[in-house]
Structure 1
Amino acid sequence: MSSAVSRFPLPMRDGVAPSYLYLPEGQWPDLITFLLARFPDVAEASWRQRMARNEVVDGDGKVLAPHSPFKRGLRIFYYRELEAETPIPFQEQILYLDQHLVVVDKPHFLPVIPTGRFLHQTLLVRLRKALGEVDLVPIHRLDRETAGVVIFSRNAASRGVYQSMFQKRVVGKEYEALAPRLEGVSFPFTYRSRMVEGDKFFVMKEEQGEPNSETLIDVIEQRGVLALYRLYPHTGRQHQLRVHLSALGIPILNDAFYPVALPCKQDDVSQPLQLLARAVSFIDPLSGDWREFRSRRSLQA
């Protein structure tokens, strides 16, 4: 499927689609003064170099210069750049591909979309580069630390019907986790709790009140002091599986957030979180066929 026709006035470059923003309310003498205020971590020389390469344009493709006037509401396009990015030494695998979908087996540590210090080392940019398609969009997400099945839309015309499946929660999701053995319970069982944002912006916590999260928990096999669990989240709260197992006293192996948020490990990839999105299943909204996509990865202590 070709992406020769782009909705962007700048082409995809090395798998990276251009970013854009609308100029807000305010008064700035020229465009570069605004850009330096909006992006204080980007040096003035960097913006001037991009503009000299004709890589900052408006929605019609008109090249913008440092002295271009600031106009509220103008949409400008540019390429996001990082001075240095550490390679992530794990590779994704394409499990399935048709005219509508690309299904991928994501490795641990690879973010799904560009964020923070990750740009080229993200699943989206890697796939756009490999397939040459600027219009790829993930229709659901996995945490950077979690491996397993992720589904992308490659067709804007059918994207909405696939996205609506996840919004309506008619998609089956099966996970596996390696964690300490849980004694004194009968499997399978359902765990429910009320989850809210934690004291730190990147973590969640439980509190008293009506449950808003639910997970069916089963055990696949015992591995000494550990067990391999099968998890079916019936809701989709952030970090839900990690929070639930931690609350049961069996935090997932190598979890750096729960029960206690540890210092950031930066580029250390030696201890992956032992959580895997094993399978995604649904009735295809276009063909009516049953679809099930399963990860080929395994969890190891």
Structure 2
Amino acid sequence: MKARHYIFVNIMVWKKKHKLSESCVAGTIVNSNKRRKEDEPKPKLKADDIYYEENGLQRIHPYYHKYATHAKGRWVGRTIYDVFAKEFRDRQPSYYEAAIRQGLIELNGQKVDKTTVVRNGDLVTHYIHRHEPPVARAPVRVVNETSELYIVDKPASVPVHPSGRYNYNSVIRILEIKQGREDLFPINRLDRLTSGLMLIARNAEAARRMEKHFVEHRIQKEYICKVQGEFPLGKIVCDQAIRVVAHKLSLNCVDPKDGKPSLTEFERLSSDGETSIVYCRPKTGRTHQIRVHLQFLGHPIANDPLYCNEAVWGKQMGRRGHLPTDEEEVVEEEEEEEEEEEKVVVAGRPSKMAGKRDSDKQNEAWVPLVRRMEEWKSKQELVDQVNGAEELENRLCEKCASPAYPDPTEEELAIWLHAWRYSGPGWTYETPLPAWAQEAEAHIDRVKYVPE
């Protein structure tokens, strides 16, 4: 099945000068060349105009999206071309020249040319042709609903909110457009690559009440994951404090001094020696808490690109807070000999992090690792772009000349972490175990939380 080349726009009215046969309003296609009057209701978004499936993935037809901002002080007195070519370097200057010529860049709603000067208070608008990444074809499934809540099973690869490169391929937009559900108030958030249970309130009051229950720890969360190595038997408790290392990378770490209190209970369900299926019960709700605590224990989630990445962390993979000391250590370091067997993590165990903190509480020891992570991500993006061009015969988008990227592999669509079960005052909801955790089905009853 080949993709249909619809174009739909997130703007009030698209211009005839682009020679499109549609007047695209509020994100949907209207088969008319007439402008929509301001008092006319916006047409409802149609799922078939936005979503399509191909090669086992849910895709989005490319569309134009409006970005608008008032001119910054340093832009005043410069030409519009100079501003875009030097301030926005994610695209080549030739792209901005063409965009100005085609009317995709405007000042105060008016067409400009390369020599138009930006003045104080000008509204700068750029219509960008967006290509959203595909996500897994698995549906966003509502497993239960009440008068106040939707209980949702989120597939891995789908973000909760529109963010970054994702807009229509998000849980909220899919529920709104494909299932016709309105007035959605997400209560808890799952990482894009994590699957499992989500609670979405149907009104603001229910959202506030449920959020209060989370803050007061009246809701018990239970997760299942698949980790590297043979996880120890028995209940393992990690109470290492966690803080953010790099917001842009969503990278977090154990830091006993400046981190926020965090506690997670773990228990092994099964193991084949190389990997283990582990039950997780977080008592606090820090970002990436389960992933960071498992890495600290020496058993990161086995396919986690952030915390189980030897190219970045070295052979010890961040175990007990260990960081490589230099670039060579990432590739060449040998496993340190352990003087004693692996023990249960207990409160107060110091990490190996050291170094003076600056005003942002950024540990100097983390600076090289953050740089390696940034370099690794940049290389991955470059490889994807090159491979995509080769796979798709150097195909570029006819509208914006964006290069084609290869489809994500099954391994790139998910990490082995699943929000399995939530329990609150008078209720319990759960989702089926994912395929990679089916072997744990026979052991799950012995560890699951039993509400009082």
Q: Same-fold call, TM > 0.5? A: yes
Over 3 Å counting, the alpha-carbon distance change for 1:47 and 1:138 in structure 2 is farther
147-156 vs 40-49, greater mean Cα deviation = 40-49
Q: How does 1:71-150 map to 2 (within 5 A)?
A: 82-150=130-198
* Counterpart Cα distance in 2 of 1:213 and 1:79: 43
Residue matched to 2:58: none
Q: CA RMSD in A?
A: 4.2
* Counterpart Cα distance in 2 of 1:295 and 1:168: 24
Out of 269, 281, 297, the residue aligned to residue 248 of structure 1 is 297
Give 1:23 deviation, angstroms.
6.1
1:282 corresponds to 2:424: yes
Out of 420, 436, 439, the residue aligned to residue 300 of structure 1 is 436
Residue matched to 2:403: none
Q: Report the 3-state secondary structure (helix = DSSP H, G, I; strand = E; otherwise coil) of the residue aligned with 1:213.
A: coil
Out of 381, 406, 411, the residue aligned to residue 270 of structure 1 is 411
* Counterpart Cα distance in 1 of 2:149 and 2:433: 21
Asked whether the equivalents of residues 109 and 269 of structure 1 are also in contact (C-alpha less than 8 Å), the reply is: no
Deviations 1:43-81 (A, max 9, x none): 756996799xxxxxxxxxxxx8448xx998x9xxx9997
Give 1:12 deviation, angstroms.
6.1
Out of 200, 212, 224, the residue aligned to residue 261 of structure 2 is 212
Give 1:296 deviation, angstroms.
1.4
* Counterpart Cα distance in 2 of 1:47 and 1:134: 37
Residue matched to 1:181: 230
* Counterpart Cα distance in 1 of 2:45 and 2:120: 27
Structure showing the higher helix proportion among its residues: 2
Asked whether the equivalents of residues 186 and 207 of structure 2 are also in contact (C-alpha less than 8 Å), the reply is: no
Deviations 1:145-179 (A, max 9, x none): 11100111222343322222223332110001111
* Counterpart Cα distance in 1 of 2:153 and 2:102: 37
251-260 vs 191-200, greater mean Cα deviation = 191-200
Residue matched to 1:287: none
204-213 vs 18-27, greater mean Cα deviation = 18-27
Residue matched to 2:28: none
Residue matched to 1:190: 237
* Counterpart Cα distance in 1 of 2:180 and 2:120: 34
TM-score between the two structures when normalised by the length of structure 1: 0.71
Overall identity of the aligned pairs, in %? 24
197-206 vs 142-151, greater mean Cα deviation = 197-206
Over 3 Å counting, the alpha-carbon distance change for 1:137 and 1:50 in structure 2 is farther
* Counterpart Cα distance in 2 of 1:116 and 1:65: 25
Structure showing the higher strand proportion among its residues: 1
38-47 vs 125-134, greater mean Cα deviation = 38-47
> Number of residues paired by the alignment?
271
Q: Report the 3-state secondary structure (helix = DSSP H, G, I; strand = E; otherwise coil) of the residue aligned with 1:231.
A: strand
Residue matched to 1:3: none
Q: Which of 1 and 2 has greater Rg?
A: 2
Structure 1 unaligned segments of length 5 or more: list them: 1-8, 52-63, 284-289
* Counterpart Cα distance in 2 of 1:47 and 1:100: 48
Asked whether the equivalents of residues 105 and 147 of structure 1 are also in contact (C-alpha less than 8 Å), the reply is: yes
268-277 vs 79-88, greater mean Cα deviation = 79-88
Q: Report the 3-state secondary structure (helix = DSSP H, G, I; strand = E; otherwise coil) of the residue aligned with 1:227.
A: strand
Q: How does 1:18-33 map to 2 (within 5 A)?
A: none
249-258 vs 158-167, greater mean Cα deviation = 158-167
